[in-house]
Amino acid sequence: MFELLGITPQGLVAQLLVGLINGSFYAILSLGLAIIFGLLNIINFSHGAQYTMGAFIAWIGLTQVGQWLGFPELSINYWFALILVPLVMAGFGLILERTMLRRLYHLDHLYGLLLTFGLALIIEGMFRHWYGISGESYPAPELLQGAIPLESIGIILPKYRLWVVVSSLVVCFSTWYVIERTKLGAYLRAGTENPKLLQAFGINVPLMISLAYAYGVGLAGFAGVLAAPIFQVNPLMGSNLIIVVFAVVVIGGMGSIMGSILTGLALGLVEGLTKVFYPEASGVVIFVIMAIVLLIRPAGLFGREK
Amino acid sequence: MNPKLKLLYGILVLIALLLPFQDFIYLVFAMKVLCFALFACAFNLLLGFTGLLSFGHAAFFGTSAYITAYLCKESGLSPEVGIILGVLGSGALGYLIGSLAIRRQGIYFAMVTLALSQMVYFLAVQLPFTGGEDGIQGVPRGMLFGLIDLKDDVAMYYFVLSVFLLGFALIMRTVHSPFGQVLKAIRENEPRAISLGYDVDRFKLISFVISAALSGLAGSMKSLVFQLATLTDVHWHMSGEVVLMTLLGGMGTILGPVVGAGIVVGLQNYLANIGSWSTIATGFIFVICVLAFRRGVVGEIAHLFKNKH
């Protein structure tokens, strides 16, 4: 069958793996968007820029920070970055929410989108100003360099890519578990349904909202660190990705956490498959699917019609 | 119309007519402002008067720019025919994108238009006749109606000015017509408009198509003025810029988008020397507008006058 289509099974598996990796990024970013949207009712347009920022901070930590501080031998390695960067980004998100986004909750949702769009331009512009658009490379950590040969099907699996898929799946599903299966998650869901009532029960809803935003931004930062060794760290990496993620969100429907994870992964795979069978269309296939889904189910695959 | 306002419009038109007779303002810059002012006015028809935030208007601006540029350069059509076909093209695209997008509301609407316009961007990168990264360059301005040579900047300026005034008048006419009143009703309270028996989706779609076609008109003019159509015209940054112009000038006001376009194009011209700072500055203006003065320049002034009386 493969010979008939002119594609080797190795090629197919390789593209599916690439698709799965892209899908993991779509999933983790649209999950962050879904959480932020759920509680704040804001489409975080700066999500892509925050992902870029995560990747840049990791890169700066690895290569620059020692010189800045006067200890050239000091550098923050990948594993520290994986923990530190999401925390830094979450702190950044907390400040943004407290100083800016908070002022917009009583207004039309569109203002949130416009504000975060402005923030995205500022972040993107600053990295472009400092580092140009050529892109910096970030080596994968030693532990994850190299590949695992799978002789039975004749392909080699790069370790780092496998790690990206596994770790993002773990993060996505544990987030899903916390939100859907724990008491904290129950509060969060109640906060999206009826914040006033929840406040009457003595729960600090504004704090919860701040933390939810911080968590979402932290997720974007985490995705940025994961992406750094795969893609070039450059100022535009996020703005190109975020539009695809928006399409993923529209296809999946904003309401559901599981929906954003599954849609993200599935669309990554679809994109990978398109690259095998009809490479020219791989850039637009997600948007085509979006158009079809909108025609059939305007609320998205997992969304509820309001 | 209020006689004072009439006087103001009269003075503005007079200034615009006299512009070629001075040395302070470069004519090509004035034409650029006019093109973007028309674009922003067309966008404002949708955002300010119908309440729909489209984040993909670059698709219409760019499509029309590409069509006009291609037809005038490769097929040797005259500029007026090139423009008309460009406008028809972007109007048809507006019908397609609009009928899909109005199925969702609010932020979803914005995201859908953004994603669909990104599809147009991909097409502009890949289709054989768009010139890929280079775009279509060296577009001839041609002879208008076979009579007026547009190579001359003054002739081109008067042509752009008349097209702008025509577009502006059409938008004013639309806004003040019964149709425009229905659009405002939809903006203010959509469920009520539905319960009054209006076919809201149809009104939204018509407004979307008019806005798309006029955005296309602006794009066509721009491709003739600068004699090129490039990926910048269809990139989503362009969609963001037109939102900024409208927001900065004052959405839902008639003159706001014109003022906003003037400020943004002016800023870009002066900030062009400092490279990436222009993106940063644009971002800051966005943030300040949203946080501090949501009415925009014209909106704030109008508000000031209203409070006085």
Reported ipTM: 0.84
Q: Tell me the percentage of chain B whose pLDDT exceeds 90.
A: 23
Averaged pLDDT of chain A? 85
Please name the residue that has the structure tokens 């017509």. Answer: B177
Q: How far is Cα B2 from Cα B46, in angstroms, rounded to an integer?
A: 24
Contacts of A125 in chain B (CB under 8 A): 276-280, 282-283
Residue in A with minimal Cα distance to B242: A114
Which of B95, B108, B278 should one mutate to test binding to chain A, selecting the residue with the greatest count of A CBs within 10 A? B108
What does the pLDDT read at residue B280?
87
What does the pLDDT read at residue B277?
79
Contacts of A115 in chain B (CB under 8 A): 286-287, 290-291
Confidence bin at B63 (pLDDT 50/70/90): very high
Contacts of B275 in chain A (CB under 8 A): 129
| Residue B123 sits at the chain A interface (C-beta within 8 Å) | yes
Tokens of A114: 């416009």
Which of B243, B278, B280 is the closest to A114 by Cβ?
B243
Higher pLDDT, A185 or B271: A185
How close, in Å, is residue B141 to chain A by CA atoms?
Answer: 33
Residue in A with minimal Cα distance to B52: A110
| Residue B221 sits at the chain A interface (C-beta within 8 Å) | no
| Residue A129 sits at the chain B interface (C-beta within 8 Å) | yes
Contacts of B294 in chain A (CB under 8 A): 107, 111
What does the pLDDT read at residue B34?
92
What does the pLDDT read at residue B43?
93
Contacts of A53 in chain B (CB under 8 A): none
Cα A26–chain centre separation: 6
pLDDT digits (tens, 9 = 90+) for A138-170: 888 877 787 777 767 667 778 888 899 999 999
| Residue B240 sits at the chain A interface (C-beta within 8 Å) | yes
What does the pLDDT read at residue B228?
87
Residue in A with minimal Cα distance to B246: A114
CB–CB contact A120 B283 (8 Å):
yes
Which of B100, B118, B286 is the closest to A114 by Cβ?
B286
What does pTM read for this prediction? Answer: 0.87
Q: How far is Cα B204 from Cα B209, in angstroms, rounded to an integer?
A: 9
Contacts of A238 in chain B (CB under 8 A): none
pLDDT digits (tens, 9 = 90+) for B241-250: 898 889 888 8
CB–CB contact A284 B119 (8 Å):
yes
Residue B60 pLDDT greater than 70, yes or no: yes
Contacts of A118 in chain B (CB under 8 A): 282-287, 289-290
For B156, phi then psi, to 5°, come to: -60, -40
What does the pLDDT read at residue B219?
93
Residue A219 pLDDT greater than 60, yes or no: yes
Cα A104–chain centre separation: 24
Tokens of A268: 């990554």
Which of B111, B248, B274 should one mutate to test binding to chain A, selecting the residue with the greatest count of A CBs within 10 A? B111
| Residue A100 sits at the chain B interface (C-beta within 8 Å) | yes
How close, in Å, is residue B84 to chain A by CA atoms?
Answer: 28
Averaged pLDDT of chain B? 86
CB–CB contact B100 A291 (8 Å):
yes
CB–CB contact B283 A118 (8 Å):
yes
User: Which of A10-19, B60-69, B139-148, B162-171 comes out lowest in average pLDDT?
Assistant: B139-148
What does the pLDDT read at residue A6?
64
Confidence bin at B211 (pLDDT 50/70/90): very high
3-state secondary structure of B73: helix
| Residue B115 sits at the chain A interface (C-beta within 8 Å) | yes
Tokens of B185: 């009703």
Q: How far is Cα A56 from Cα A232, in angstroms, rounded to an integer?
A: 10
Mean of the pLDDT values across residues B251-263?
88
Which of A110, A123, A251, A278 should one mutate to test binding to chain B, selecting the residue with the greatest count of B CBs within 10 A? A110
Helix (H), strand (E) at residue B26? none
Q: How far is Cα A256 from Cα A189, in angstroms, rounded to an integer?
A: 11
Mean of the pLDDT values across residues B220-246?
88
Contacts of B111 in chain A (CB under 8 A): 43, 246-247, 249-250
Residues A69/A61, Cβ–Cβ less than 8 Å = no
Q: Any bridge partners for residue B136, and if so which?
A: B229
Instruction: From residue A202, give the alpha-carbon distance in Å to each of A195, A199, B84.
Output: 11, 5, 63
Which of A110, A124, A247 is the closest to B107 by Cβ?
A110
- A109-131 and A237-252 helices, crossing angle to 10°: 150
Which of A26, A243, A245 should one mutate to test binding to chain B, selecting the residue with the greatest count of B CBs within 10 A? A243
For B292, phi then psi, to 5°, come to: -105, -50
How close, in Å, is residue B234 to chain A by CA atoms?
Answer: 14
Instruction: From residue B168, give the alpha-carbon distance in Å to each of A131, B16, B218, B242.
Output: 42, 14, 11, 16
Residue A53 pLDDT greater than 90, yes or no: yes
CB–CB contact A243 B243 (8 Å):
no
| Residue B188 sits at the chain A interface (C-beta within 8 Å) | no
CB–CB contact A298 B104 (8 Å):
yes
∠ CA(A301), CA(A282), CA(A42), 5° rounding? 45
Which of B104, B276, B286 is the closest to A118 by Cβ?
B286
Mean of the pLDDT values across residues A292-300?
83
Contacts of B243 in chain A (CB under 8 A): 114, 117
Mean of the pLDDT values across residues A78-84?
90
Helix (H), strand (E) at residue A141? none
Residue A306 pLDDT greater than 60, yes or no: no
